[in-house]
Amino acid sequence: MFDKEEWKKSVSRYGFFRNIFMMGGLFASYGTLAILILKYLAPRTKKEHETKMFVGLTTNLKSGSSISFETPEGESYILTGREDGSDVKYIAFSNRCPHLGCKVIWENGQNRFHCPCHNGVFNDEGIAISGPPYKAGQRLKKCAIKVEDKAIYALLT
Amino acid sequence: MNNIKNWLQTRFPFNWDILKVAGSEPVPNHLKHWWWCLGGTPLYLFIVQIFTGILLSFYYVPGYNEAYDSVKNITENISYGWYIRSLHKWSANFMIISVILHMMRVFFTGSYRKPRELNWMMGVLLLTFTLITGFTGYSLIFEQLSYWGITVATNIMGAVPFVGDSIAAFIRGGEKITQLTLSRMFMFHAAILPTTLIFVIIIHITMIRLHGVTEFAFKKSDRKKHFPFYPEHLITEIIIALVIMIGISILAILFPIGLEEKANPLVTPAHIKPEWYFYFAFRLLKLTSLTASVFIMGGGFMILLMWPFIDEYIRKRKPNSELSMILGVFGVILLTGLTLWEAIALFLSH
Amino acid sequence: MATRKKKNEIMFEPEKKQGKFIAFIKEVADSFKGENEMSLNLKKVVVALLSGFFLVSLLIVAWIEGGRRHVLDYPDAVITAENKKCIDCHQSMTPGLVQQWKESKHSHSGIGCYNCHKAEEGDIDGMKHNGFFIATIVSPKDCSNCHSKQFDEFTSSHHASAGTILGSLDNELAEIVEGHMEYDESGNLIKGSPAATSGCLQCHGSQVKVLGEGKLDPETWPNTGIGRINPDGSKGSCSACHMRHNFSMAQARQPENCGRCHMGPDHPQLEIYKESKHGIAFEANRTRFLKDMDNKNWEPGVDFESGPTCSTCHMGKVGDMESTHDVGSRISWNLRPPVSQKIDSYAGSKIGDKVKSWELRREDMKIVCQSCHGPEWIENWYIQFDSFIGLYNDKFGRPATDLYNMIRQNNLITSDVTFDDKIEFTYFYLWHHEGRRARHGASMMGPDYTQWHGMFEVSKNFYQDFIPELKEVIKKGKSSGKEVAAAQVEQKMNQILNSPMHRWYIGKMPEKEKKSRKDARLKFQERYAPAVK
């Protein structure tokens, strides 16, 4: 089917360019089509409007107390307010223990998250400090929080 | 390099020389004429359909309540969704047109005669399956005309004697159009029919190769002349493929496929109509009764299927008769006429 | 291998460049005629060219796709877990309501049904509903959880006290004159006046009564009057202007929104606005403005250039001056009573413990005017405005009121009920309808309302109806044993009619003035056909 010697003999300088343009053209056009198809298959994950979800009011969330909320996708988080000088910082950590998925509980008195299933313990930054999650170097997933006036929003995108 | 080749050859002992033979298959000179490339066109379009169809099925949901919205999502939200969908629809239209043109070419050049009768019948099957694929595909959108199209089609099926009602129930997955209907349509359109088509296409092409291509001579110099499949004919095919891609791409840009109203079982649209390739049947229905149409269409299909044998009989009875050609022309005029009649009637009624 | 004709090699020789293109076209055309097949080299070139076209078509596709982006960016409604149950049912029961919510900014932040309708234990209008404890009415206090600034401003405004009209003349009209109330033996109200329920209170606001288990008394609800007195004690209804459940700012800024109440024969602010240049400008540009009217602020000179609406001047942010929900905060005159006064202590708008003076309010309004008008324009206009109100007050408002009060106090007409004597309707029309129309017309630059719907009718009322009817009352008083009181009234009336503003009526126009009037009239008739000699 493909005789290298014959081919070498028959190709001239112009023939070389002909081949290049032909192959290049095919490559460029079908390649572009392939790129468009890839874009089609991978929908944009970054929405241009930030999607936020109302969680609570700063007036309702005193330092130390918490509000738990669930995103429309079904992930649940705990929102706590923490004193940061004169300000209050709001952080939301996932309820779900990264070890095997049990629900962690925020223990205000001990300033820690505790997972009752296998005694995993996380500090107030969500980093595991004891138990199986600590051994695996895991941490609690965080949810981005935005505060506007008195309203606390969870950022979904 | 050679070590790798040996390593592979030990484990995959394929005789690559076969491909050399296949590649150097002499193609009769007359295939340099574009009119003869009408067989490859539907094949290429079929490949386009498979690709775009798979892409569409990434986002299409065959659920009774979700289907329409998923198509809307593809058309409006997904990046390039409108383009892929429009390619798919236009490609479908052209596939059907090119299959019909190819059939006409085969018919009017008598290429169905012995020993190629079975191949002709395979071709008729391919036409039938293509049309059904078109029908099932359109049903998936679940627009008003999809829903009511299924209703009308199953009613016609139901008029077939003896087995009609069973066929209708089989298509619908019950007595009414439900989720089961849609699931069936999806399975037929996306799995069963494409696989069947691939299978029959393979048989079709194999038979062509086995029989060899009839040598045709436009000029005396053509006779006994051949040219190799690679690279000449391959490049011809590439050119055709590119022309097709440009064509459907431009059509997708200029006439992107939209969306009509969502299917509503409670509201019959003012103008029910099938896809254009069924216009002839629709017009026939309006001219005659349901039973008569079913019989006429059934009969027509049988004539088409068994045509090589009918033609043989005609030629046996009356050699050098032009009757086959005349019947062919008559058939084309009849079907085109019915299609145009319906199209014009629909255009005027809006 | 390939059968390449020799002539193809020649085709691509550089010397024969001129013939190359024509030969190319010729060869392509020939291949269609079926005479000479296209050579392989030519085919390769054709492939290259066609690939180019295909690529171009794909680039057009990409360009179209790029232009489609913004259509996809509309944020969706975020349905949280606690609201999902409400939505699922109400989607089929009240689909319009759910769709309204989905259009609202609330839904984009996941603020849904339960966030607002949730009731606390102890709320008298709370009720159990499919596993939730909710209240139908979402009062300003509920809204104030997030919108506290607007709540504070609104509550201190006159809008919030619109529902406390009990005892006003209008109230009497609705309940006694037009409508009917039923009382039991102890004097408790058992049935209110439908005229009030469906009429007055729909704008002013009812006092919502809870019948128990969250059910609301139909005499008092549905009602989104702006001064509604809610079960939780808060005053007002945010949805009077911010219609639920879209709560669209653009909708709230439309003049027709205020015009639901601020229209009609007794205070045609909407009609006056539409007559005015402000209204004309807005109407001309309305469609263009609509998109921006949903912004947080809609500032003249920033978001639009001409055609302010009600909220622009009376509420909106202008430059450094923040927006306010206290609609009286920039109003200097009180045009409501029989005799207009500058807004004072009972208007409610306070800075700290002090009432905001009318001067400060006027200054604030002038800040808005300055967006488009120069200082001399503004100063002169206010002088015009003040003069007009002064004229009304001095010529008609005060005199008629003094006379009216006199005949009531002296019992020349029944004083324990109003509207049973003809002159009471006449007087009411004079200040409440015609007088207000005139004053409002002047305040918002609607000259036709100022004049023909306004002062013309005030003066006609005064001279054609009020004074003659007063004379009747005096006559009746004299013949029914109340000569002293009647004489007092008569004296007062004559005093008024002999004053410079009214003496023309009794033929006491000074001669000089009469002559100059006559001269002007003759000159006028010279220009146009003589009508009256």
Residue C72 reports pLDDT greater than 80? no
Answer for the pair C139, C156: CB distance below 8 angstroms, yes or no. Answer: no
Q: How far apart are CA C28 and CA C228, in angstroms?
A: 84
Position A44 scores a pLDDT of 64
User: CA C151 from chain center: how many Å?
Assistant: 19
Q: Which residues of A touch C87 (CB under 8 A)?
A: none
Q: How far is C54 from chain B (nearest CA, A)?
A: 5
Probe site for chain A from C58, C68, C87 (most A CB atoms < 10 A): C58
How many domains is chain B partitioned into structurally?
A: 1
| Chain B residue with minimum CA distance to A35 | B80
Indicate the Cα dihedral angle C290, C296, C301, C306, nearest 10°: 30
Residue A37 reports pLDDT greater than 70? yes
B278 lies in some domain = no
Answer for the pair B91, B49: CB distance below 8 angstroms, yes or no. Answer: yes
Cross-chain Cβ contact A40/B80 below 8 Å: yes
List the single range of A95-99, B66-70, C364-368 with lowest mean pLDDT: A95-99
Residues 6+ apart with CB under 8 A from C341: C333, C334
B259 lies in some domain = yes
Cross-chain Cβ contact C47/B252 below 8 Å: no
3-class DSSP state for residue C341? strand
B68 lies in some domain = yes
B10 lies in some domain = no
Q: For C77-111, give the DSSP string.
A: P---HHHHHHHHHHHHHSHHHHHHHHHSHHHHTT-
Residue B247 sits in a domain of what CATH number?
1.20.810.10
**Tens-place pLDDT, residues C26-45:** 776 666 665 555 677 788 88
More confident residue, B34 or C401: C401
Cross-chain Cβ contact C80/A72 below 8 Å: yes
> What is the architecture, at CATH level 2, of domain A48-156?
3-layer Sandwich (2.102)
Could you tell me which of B160, B154, B167, B145 has the C-alpha nearest to residue B276?
B145
Q: How confident is the model at residue C401 (pLDDT cuts 50, 70, 90)?
A: very high
Tokens encoding B70: 């998923």
B61 lies in some domain = yes
* Closest by Cβ to B235, choosing from C40, C71, C72: C40
Q: How many CB pairs under 8 A join A and B?
A: 32
Could you tell me which of C465, C47, B89 has the C-alpha nearest to residue C38?
C47
Q: What is the CA radius of gyration of chain A?
A: 28
Q: How confident is the model at residue C14 (pLDDT cuts 50, 70, 90)?
A: very low
B122 lies in some domain = yes
- For the ranges B209-213, C341-345, C445-449, the maximum mean pLDDT occurs at C445-449
Q: Quote the mean pLDDT of chain A.
A: 82
Q: How confident is the model at residue C8 (pLDDT cuts 50, 70, 90)?
A: very low
| Chain C residue with minimum CA distance to A50 | C75
* Closest by Cβ to A40, choosing from B19, B81, B238: B81
Tokens encoding C25: 């076209």
Q: What is the DSSP letter of A96?
A: B
Asked if C60 is an interface residue toward chain A (Cβ–Cβ < 8 A), one would say: no
Cross-chain Cβ contact C1/A14 below 8 Å: no
Q: What is the DSSP letter of B215?
A: P
Cross-chain Cβ contact C44/A18 below 8 Å: yes
| Chain C residue with minimum CA distance to B74 | C72
What is the mean predicted confidence (pLDDT) over C16-22? 59
| Global ipTM | 0.82
**Tens-place pLDDT, residues C152-186:** 999 988 899 888 876 677 777 777 788 788 888 88
Could you tell me which of C444, C438, C488 has the C-alpha nearest to residue C462?
C438
Q: How far is B209 from chain C (nearest CA, A)?
A: 21
Residue C351 reports pLDDT greater than 80? no
Specify burial of residue C187 (Cβ count, 10 A radius: 0-12, 13-18, 19+): exposed
Residue C15 reports pLDDT greater than 70? no
Q: How far apart are CA C414 and CA C463, in angstroms?
A: 23
Range of the domain at B159: 27-212+223-268
Position C6 scores a pLDDT of 47
Q: Which residues of C touch B252 (CB under 8 A)?
A: 61
Position A45 scores a pLDDT of 52
Q: How confident is the model at residue C193 (pLDDT cuts 50, 70, 90)?
A: confident
User: CA C55 from chain center: how many Å?
Assistant: 56
Position A57 scores a pLDDT of 85
Q: Quote the mean pLDDT of chain C.
A: 86
B38 lies in some domain = yes
Q: How confident is the model at residue A18 (pLDDT cuts 50, 70, 90)?
A: confident
Tokens encoding C434: 């015609």
Position B32 scores a pLDDT of 62
Position A101 scores a pLDDT of 87
List the single range of C14-18, C56-60, C137-141, C342-346 with lowest mean pLDDT: C14-18
Q: How confident is the model at residue C79 (pLDDT cuts 50, 70, 90)?
A: confident
**Which residues does chain B have with pLDDT short of 50?**
none
Position B87 scores a pLDDT of 96
Domain boundaries, chain A: 4-41, 48-156
Position C240 scores a pLDDT of 93
Answer for the pair A33, A53: CB distance below 8 angstroms, yes or no. Answer: no
Position A46 scores a pLDDT of 47
Residue C403 reports pLDDT greater than 90? yes
Q: Which residues of C touch A17 (CB under 8 A)?
A: none
Q: How far is A39 from chain C (nearest CA, A)?
A: 10
